[in-house]
Amino acid sequence: MAHPPLVSVIVPNYNYATVLRLCLRALTEQTHPALEVIVVDDCSTDDSVAVARSFPDVTVLRTPTNSGPSTARNIGAEAARGEILMFVDSDVALAPDAVATALAVLDSDPRIGAVCGNYDTVPLVRDSLVKDYRNLYRHWYFKIAEGSITGFLSTAILAIPARIWAEVGPWNPRLDQSEGADVGERLTDRYEVRMTSSVIGRHDDDANLRIAVYKVFTRTRVHIPFFLNRRRVVGVVTSAESGTGLASWLAAATAPLPLLFGAAWAVLPALLLLVWLASDGRMYRYVWRIRGLPYTAFFAAMHLLVNLTIGVGVAAGLVQWACSRRFRRLYDQEAVTA
């Protein structure tokens, strides 16, 4: 009987000691028997290293300086011995069958070069409505993308054969918010990438509204050169966190019209908001079905804030792209392999 392939699980970490313990405990409970777990700590200032070392079968590496998750993942990939690499963020606790299921998907079709997993609808630590919204929305976003995907990768749960990673890696060390777009483009040019909710984990997203909004803004802004340098201008609007933001941006832009020209003009932003809500009607029905009406109203308000933040991020990114040659070259290949 053939031996099961060794899977190297690479966990980049920075100051996530509490949830890192949950992440590593979940890896000890995987049904796949041949597992190598590598934690790459990015110079944490909490007790993350002690937490990782408390698991006797975990290899603990450290970055020389605080350098971001891309550098940490690259260090882990270089040290890995497995036939399969599985990148798992330190704030994700995989379901017990996640590794085994990812391998089964890879084995199901030789054209599949990587498998992306999904988040559970419930956060790993359920202590914030903001966190709850972020997890549920991302679950939905990945759920409707199930099947073959192009371009963007979900980097939090990603399984890929080591031989393929040798072709498409490494992670761009200059990117810490949009590295999935960079690797995803190289990967999907050569192989099929499968998104599936059968590979799932609970995720501890941002509980703080300010931090969550800032991340949305930053991720949107840094995607601008990725799209514009590839002449995919439509992607600026349709990617990032949502594909339906334009109507909400127009509603915000026209909101002052009633103050300037009279109450009758309130119809225009109201209609635009209705268009925005209707464009994601399937998502809101899903949320209503599993969480009820009051939560759905909160979810819609959060989603509006996120969409408006994306609009600001697009504007800031366009300005930066026009003014900064360095920003325009953010995704240049030579920066990745240098």
For the chain, the structural domain boundaries read 7-205, 212-244+280-337
- Residue 149's beta-bridge partner residues? 193
- Tens digit of pLDDT for each residue in 283-326? 999 999 999 999 999 999 999 999 999 999 999 999 999 999 98
- Tens digit of pLDDT for each residue in 34-46? 999 999 999 999 9
The arrangement of secondary structure in 7-205, i.e. its CATH architecture, is: Alpha-Beta Complex (3.90)
The answer to whether 85 and 8 have CB atoms below 8 angstroms apart is: yes
What pTM did the predictor assign? 0.88
Q: What are the b/e assignments for 204-217, b being 16+ CB within 10 Å?
A: bbbbeeeebbebbb
The answer to whether 53 and 20 have CB atoms below 8 angstroms apart is: no
Q: Tell me the residue ranges of DSSP E strands in the chain.
A: 7-13, 35-41, 58-62, 84-88, 92-94, 112-119, 147-149, 157-161, 192-203
The answer to whether 88 and 14 have CB atoms below 8 angstroms apart is: no
Name the one residue in this structure whose structure tokens are 């609007």.
237
Largest distance between two CA atoms of the chain: 79
Nearest to 232 by CA among 136, 150, 132: 150
Q: What is the pLDDT of residue 1?
A: 46
d(CA 63, CA 97): 30
d(CA 180, CA 95): 22
d(CA 76, CA 28): 18
d(CA 95, CA 90): 14
Q: What is the DSSP string of 297-329?
A: HHHHHHHHHHHHHHHHHHHHHHHHHHH-HHHHT
Q: What is the pLDDT of residue 175?
A: 76
- Segments of the chain with pLDDT less than 50: 1, 231-243, 335-338
Nearest to 280 by CA among 309, 303, 264: 303
